[in-house]
């Protein structure tokens, strides 16, 4: 009946451990290919306009988004443990890139394209370093409320960043002067604005209304999926069509993407390390962290639904490789996109083959259709971004969290407001600090009980809950948690308060049955406590100390310091020896 969690080397063979692609490739079937093929087409249709739009959002030329959609998904397919995550440019990473590139000391160094590539490369190597240090689990420490507060704040920043494109005006530099924004908005370009509204109308009608209509017509589910997800592509097509059919004066007033390098990305390892690298490093770290958390979150959700497993540490390797792949092919930072992965998943992707098929389609588009991409109006891309980003603003979630847990709600609100008013990284750091502080505060009160003997047994129970025997010269304290820097002080105080209440005590016995770890701070606190007790003429003893804890204590001279104090195997023995 006994069963233990098997080590990873039992669950996967060596090769499959580092190249999870092998685990699905060896059983890949024709049916799998059918599911993946259709999904690949749907995802490509969605990914092309998104890639261009997110490059624009990051303030970069469109090819950085397109290149980021070619090699990285292939790298992820090789190393990633999720079969359905769609890796490529994502909105939150894009706004973080924009924010990094806009900092004065970085923007004055010029060449934003180079900076974006360095960000991706540094981020990739940081993820690999985290994998090496087996830090996959550490990202659990960004709590969901902080993450939601962060994405909500970032989404609002994204929406504001797109408004100038939507109105066809230059980005105003107004700071906190609101009238200045209104003055700027009043210069709006009516044709651009009209194309924007039209694009939004197309995008909205392609989601629910069209699905409803197609269902009425009994269209097959997969076709409905493919058609409804082509909304962005249709919006781009129609937007472009309108602009190209306007007369030249009107057309000129609507801003288009402009020149795009055609052809596949060129692989280059030609990086020149400079001061810029050091300055970009912290930003690269934040982008990589958020990219990783987003990717793993969505990977877990989709994997669990099919009872597949995600290996958090292997994901660090996969995402690190994907970011290095984007950098050497001249693309922007990548992550697993939430909405795109859900599309991939629900369209029926069975393996990463779906993404490889999407990559093939995107590659063809990059080779043959860049001329067409050049005349896409920016306002249509802004409309695509706006509608993709809207669902990320979850103000109600903040109220919801607040009502469930005050500490989490505070952290969520602080992160949200921090992102909006102090900056993207500052808001995130604020949220993380608040969460951890609240957590440490909670864990600083460990459970500790004064115990006594249940009459006629050898059981010892909490004196507050059970009718038990106690003895005047003896205080039995059961510590129910590992003793660390965060709670050692509480245990010391608790002991002294109990002693103040019971002046007759000559022996204190700490029952360590549930203690499997005592850190250096806690050891020092126990040493101090022992000294204090000695000064009061009280002897400290231990009982039921676990093997590993005993081994550790024997390395130190704590047991020597106990002097008259003993270590009892069972509480019963302590009572027998100490009761007068």
CB-nearer residue toward a second copy: 261 or 400? 400
Classify 469 as helix, strand or coil: strand
Q: Does 535 bind a second copy (CB under 8 A)?
A: yes
Q: Does 27 bind a second copy (CB under 8 A)?
A: no
Which of these, 72, 161, 174, lies nearest to 381 by C-alpha position?
161
Among 22, 204, 375, 436, binds a second copy (CB under 8 A): 436
Min dist. Cβ of residue 473 to a second copy (A): 16
CB-nearer residue toward a second copy: 407 or 567? 407
- Give the contacts of 405 (CB within 8 A, at least 6 positions apart): none
Stretch 166-185 residues interacting with a second copy (CB under 8 A): none
Mark residues 113-152: x for contact with a second copy by CB under 8 A, - for none: ------------------------xx-xxxxxx-------
Stretch 82-101 residues interacting with a second copy (CB under 8 A): none
Q: Does 17 bind a second copy (CB under 8 A)?
A: no
Strand partners, 533: none
CB-nearer residue toward a second copy: 67 or 338? 338
In terms of residues, how long is the chain? 580
Among 16, 524, 572, 573, binds a second copy (CB under 8 A): 524
Mark residues 367-406: x for contact with a second copy by CB under 8 A, - for none: ----------------------------------x-xxx-
Stretch 479-508 residues interacting with a second copy (CB under 8 A): 482, 484-490, 492-494, 496-497, 499-501
Among 194, 214, 420, 463, binds a second copy (CB under 8 A): 463
Q: Are strands 474-479 and 448-453 parallel, antiparallel or unpaired?
A: antiparallel
Stretch that binds a second copy, among 15-23, 74-82, 174-182, 467-475 (CB under 8 A): 467-475
Min dist. Cβ of residue 566 to a second copy (A): 22
**Which segments of 337-405 does DSSP mark as H helices, in order?**
338-346, 353-368, 370-374, 378-389, 395-404
Min dist. Cβ of residue 470 to a second copy (A): 6
Which of these, 48, 47, 46, 65, lies nearest to 56 by C-alpha position?
65
Strand partners, 539: 507
CB-nearer residue toward a second copy: 363 or 410? 410
Cα(146)–Cα(152) distance, integer angstroms: 10
CB-nearer residue toward a second copy: 375 or 496? 496
Among 393, 444, 471, 546, binds a second copy (CB under 8 A): 444
Min dist. Cβ of residue 414 to a second copy (A): 14
List, as one string, the DSSP characters of 269-307.
------HHHHHHHHHHHHHHHHHHHHHHHHHHHHHHHTT
Cα(100)–Cα(330) distance, integer angstroms: 18
Stretch 299-358 residues interacting with a second copy (CB under 8 A): 300-301, 304-307, 309, 312
**Which two three-digit tokens encode residue 31?**
């049916």
List, as one string, the DSSP characters of 333-349.
--EE-HHHHHHHHHTT-
Q: Does 560 bind a second copy (CB under 8 A)?
A: no
Q: How far is CA 318 from the centre of its chain?
A: 15
Burial class (CB in 10 A: 0-12, 13-18, 19+), 26: exposed
Contact status, residue 431 vs residue 411, Cβ threshold 8 Å? yes
Among 62, 72, 88, 452, binds a second copy (CB under 8 A): 452
Cα(55)–Cα(220) distance, integer angstroms: 34
Mark residues 411-430: x for contact with a second copy by CB under 8 A, - for none: -x------------------
């Amino acid at each position: 009946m006994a069963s233990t969690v098997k080590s990873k080397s039992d669950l996967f063979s060596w090769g499959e451990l580092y190249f999870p692609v092998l685990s699905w490739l060896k059983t890949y079937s024709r049916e799998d290919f059918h599911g993946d093929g259709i999904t690949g087409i749907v995802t490509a249709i969605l990914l092309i306009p998104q890639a261009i739009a997110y490059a624009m959002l990051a303030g970069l030329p469109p090819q950085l988004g397109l290149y980021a959609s070619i090699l990285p998904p292939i790298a992820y397919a090789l190393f990633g443990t999720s079969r359905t995550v769609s890796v490529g440019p994502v909105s939150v990473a894009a706004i973080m890139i924009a924010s990094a590139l806009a900092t004065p000391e970085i923007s004055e160094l010029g060449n934003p394209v180079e900076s974006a590539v360095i960000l991706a490369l540094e981020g990739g190597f940081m993820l690999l370093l985290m994998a090496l240090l087996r830090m996959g689990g550490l990202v659990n420490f960004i709590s969901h409320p902080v993450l939601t507060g962060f994405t909500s704040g970032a989404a609002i920043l994204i929406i504001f960043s797109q408004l100038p494109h939507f109105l066809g005006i230059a980005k105003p530099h107004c700071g906190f002067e609101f009238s200045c924004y209104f003055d700027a908005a009043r210069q709006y370009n009516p044709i651009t604005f009209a194309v924007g509204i039209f694009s939004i109308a197309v995008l909205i009608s392609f989601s629910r209304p069209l699905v409803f209509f197609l269902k009425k017509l009994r269209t097959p589910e997969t076709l409905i999926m493919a058609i409804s997800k082509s909304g962005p592509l249709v919006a781009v097509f129609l937007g472009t069509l309108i602009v190209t059919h306007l007369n030249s004066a009107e057309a000129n007033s609507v801003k288009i993407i402009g020149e795009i390098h055609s052809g596949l990305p060129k692989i280059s390892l030609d990086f020149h390390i400079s001061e810029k690298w050091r300055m970009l490093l912290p930003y690269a770290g934040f982008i990589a962290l958020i990219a990783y958390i987003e990717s793993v979150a969505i990977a877990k959700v989709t994997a669990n639904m099919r009872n597949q497993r995600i290996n958090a540490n292997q994901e660090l390797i996969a995402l690190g490789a994907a970011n290095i792949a984007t950098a050497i092919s001249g693309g922007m930072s990548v992550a697993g996109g939430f909405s795109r992965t859900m599309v991939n998943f629900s369209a029926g992707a069975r393996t990463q083959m779906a993404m490889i098929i999407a990559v093939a389609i995107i590659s063809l588009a990059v080779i043959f259709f860049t001329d067409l991409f050049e005349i896409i109006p920016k306002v249509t891309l802004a409309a695509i971004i706006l509608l993709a980003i809207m669902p990320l603003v979850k103000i109600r979630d903040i109220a919801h969290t607040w009502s469930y847990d005050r500490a989490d709600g505070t952290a969520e609100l602080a992160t949200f407001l921090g992102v909006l008013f102090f900056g993207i990284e500052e808001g995130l750091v604020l949220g993380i600090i608040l969460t951890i502080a609240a957590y440490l505060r909670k864990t600083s009160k460990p459970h500790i009980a004064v115990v006594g003997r249940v009459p006629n047994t050898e059981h010892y129970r909490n004196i507050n809950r059970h009718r038990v025997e106690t003895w005047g010269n003896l205080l039995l304290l059961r510590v129910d948690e590992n003793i660390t820097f965060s709670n050692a002080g509480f245990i010391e105080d608790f002991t002294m308060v109990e002693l103040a209440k019971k002046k007759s005590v000559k022996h204190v016995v700490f029952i360590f049955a549930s203690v499997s770890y005592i850190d250096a701070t806690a050891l020092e606190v126990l040493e101090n406590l022992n000294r204090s007790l000695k000064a009061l003429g009280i002897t400290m003893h231990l009982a039921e100390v676990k093997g590993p804890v005993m081994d550790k204590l024997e390395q130190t001279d704590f047991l020597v310091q106990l002097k008259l104090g003993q270590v009892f195997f069972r509480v019963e023995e302590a009572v027998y020896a100490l009761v007068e």
